[in-house]
Chains A and B, each alone.
Chain A
Amino acid sequence: MENKTALIIGGSAGSLDVLIRVLPDIDINIQFPIVIVVHRKQGTDSILSDLLATKTTLRVKELEEKETILDGCIYVVPSDYHLLIEKDYTFSLDYSEKVNYSRPSIDVTFQSAADIYKDRLVCLLLSGSNADGVNGLIMVKKMGGKAWVQDPESAQVSYMPAQAILKANIDKVLKIEEMAGYINALTSY
């Protein structure tokens, strides 16, 4: 099977502003998908993907279950479902128990993606007030992928990225203005 690359971005409180600042600078020619897992209230799905769509010319959509994952597309996880990745590079949704009081849980998606993409995966954890995503980053590293976090100094809520730095072997700590550059460079990764 060909090796595909993916970027998964996880965030909670304070992460939306980061996405809004970073998306406009992401290269239209990226050769991998970007999947966004953010904690939020139920029933606000299209609002979030519509808002993010105004910040980039890349295609942004709320992902659908069993949808094939396409390069150059930005996918937003629907509220109140966990997102898993299948071996054939399709999405599965899951309504099982909350993890870290969260559904979607960032850990769940990071771990599932690590199982599929292995060393071709990059996960970026942004601002947030709980530790969801930290265990996911640990598994990403175990599978040879890359773990990036937002610089806690630049985060509206520093707890989540700070926990990740404390507990996982982080490859890069990024300021908001550095993120797009590193993401764009992934194309040749």
Chain B
Amino acid sequence: MPHLLSITDDEVEILINDVLDQYGYDFTGYSRASLKRRLVRIYALDKHVSFAEYRYKVINDPIYFKRFVEQITVNVTEMFRDPSFYKALRYKVLPNLGTYPFIRIWLAGCSTGEEAFSMAIVLKELGLLHKSLIYATDINPVVLEKAAEGMFPLSQMKQYSENYIASGGPKDFSSYYSANYAMAKFDPELRKKMIFSTHNLVSDHSFNEFQLILCRNVLIYFDRDLQFKVLQLFDNSLESLGYLALGTKETTDFSPISKNYKRLESEKIWRKTS
């Protein structure tokens, strides 16, 4: 069993510095409890024999480092996760954005793409997909490759279908995919309006103006200072009257941008007022 004693707090800091120096990935603003747990997990999964050997491998093996980044970040996601959130998107947010000639959406921390495909399905059903563009970004190139394939485990489809129905989805969910061995291959039509790209919320800048930004369950892994910095980045990237959506346990409260945002009742969706 991996346990938290296999790496010390000092060693965590050493690794964070190594990774910054060697590769330019800045994890200094990550919550230490989660980060340490992830580092210990990789240590055990990859059967490292000592911290020195672990550190050497991370510093000197760029291919291993790719895996390291993939494993250090949390890539757990679902389609139509939190159905009430998607219900609010379907009935409140997207109909408003539908009055625009063109809709630009940023999914920050899109992981393996389940949210991007969920979003595309709702847009399609509202007749808005043709004039929308979904920019789906993640720090981790490995998950983006998976996301772009639009294939998700068939074993998940029962759950996703239930989520979809609970979110107000009117159709037969299975009409959106075809079974391909153990995978569900989603309608390539949905994929056409997606752009996948790496983007590091810690170090990269704003790259466009959006009417809707989704970043759900990413900020929980950051400390308060980094959360505020990233919220500022979102603020810089959001048009006036645009929407910002966060995870069910995340908030703009306490941050410097909060005064310019008004929350939609009950969901973690804020509208930029100025």
Interface residues of A (CB under 8 A from B): 64-66, 78, 81, 84-87, 92-97, 108, 111-112, 114-116, 135, 139, 142
| Least Cβ–Cβ distance between B78 and chain A, in angstroms | 10
Choice from A94, A115, A116 contacting B34 with Cβ under 8 Å: A94
Q: A65-B250, A84-B34, A86-B31 are in contact. Are A94 and B220 (CB under 8 A)?
A: yes
Q: Bound state CA distance, A115 and B12, in angstroms?
A: 14
- Please tell me if B125 contacts chain A, counting CB pairs below 8 Å: no
Would B37 and A139 count as touching, CB distance under 8 A?
no
- Pick from A66, A112, A114 the residue with the most CB of B within 10 Å: A66
Q: A66-B224, A93-B220, A95-B76 are in contact. Are A111 and B9 (CB under 8 A)?
A: no
Choice from A65, A81, A112, A142 contacting B37 with Cβ under 8 Å: A112
Closest 6 pairs between A and B when the two form their complex, measured CB to CB = A84-B33, A96-B74, A92-B31, A115-B4, A95-B217, A93-B220
Q: Bound state CA distance, A66 and B219, in angstroms?
A: 11
| Least Cβ–Cβ distance between B96 and chain A, in angstroms | 26
How many B residues are at the interface, by size bracket? 20 to 34
| Least Cβ–Cβ distance between B114 and chain A, in angstroms | 13
Q: For window 78-129 of chain B, which residues contact chain A by CB distance below 8 Å?
A: none
- Interface of chain A, main secondary structure: mixed
Would B34 and A92 count as touching, CB distance under 8 A?
yes
Would B37 and A94 count as touching, CB distance under 8 A?
yes
Across the interface, name the chain B residue whose C-beta is closest to A94: B34
Residues of B within 8 A of A92 (CB): 31, 33-34, 220-221
Residues of B within 8 A of A87 (CB): 9, 32-33
Q: A93-B249, A94-B74, A97-B76 are in contact. Are A139 and B5 (CB under 8 A)?
A: yes
Residues of A within 8 A of B1 (CB): 135
Q: Bound state CA distance, A93 and B270, in angstroms?
A: 21
Would B5 and A86 count as touching, CB distance under 8 A?
no
Q: Bound state CA distance, A93 and B36, in angstroms?
A: 13
Q: Bound state CA distance, A93 and B76, in angstroms?
A: 14
- B230-272 near A? 1/0 per residue, CB < 8 Å: 0000000000000000011111000000000000000000000
| Least Cβ–Cβ distance between B111 and chain A, in angstroms | 11
Across the interface, name the chain A residue whose C-beta is closest to B4: A115
Q: Can you report 15 A-B residue pairs in the complex whose CB atoms are below 8 A from each other?
A: A65-B250, A81-B220, A81-B249, A86-B33, A87-B32, A92-B31, A92-B34, A94-B74, A94-B220, A95-B76, A96-B37, A111-B4, A115-B33, A135-B1, A139-B5
Residues of B within 8 A of A116 (CB): 33
Residues of A within 8 A of B223 (CB): 66
- Please tell me if B3 contacts chain A, counting CB pairs below 8 Å: yes
Residues of A within 8 A of B227 (CB): 66
Q: A96-B74, A139-B4, A142-B5 are in contact. Are A85 and B33 (CB under 8 A)?
A: yes
- Pick from B31, B32, B76, B227 the residue with the most CB of A within 10 Å: B31
Q: Bound state CA distance, A66 and B224, in angstroms?
A: 7
Q: For window 1-56 of chain B, which residues contact chain A by CB distance below 8 Å?
A: 1, 3-5, 9, 31-34, 36-38
Given contacts A94-B34, A94-B74, 10 further A-B contacts (CB under 8 A): A64-B251, A94-B221, A95-B74, A96-B76, A111-B3, A112-B4, A116-B33, A135-B1, A139-B5, A142-B5
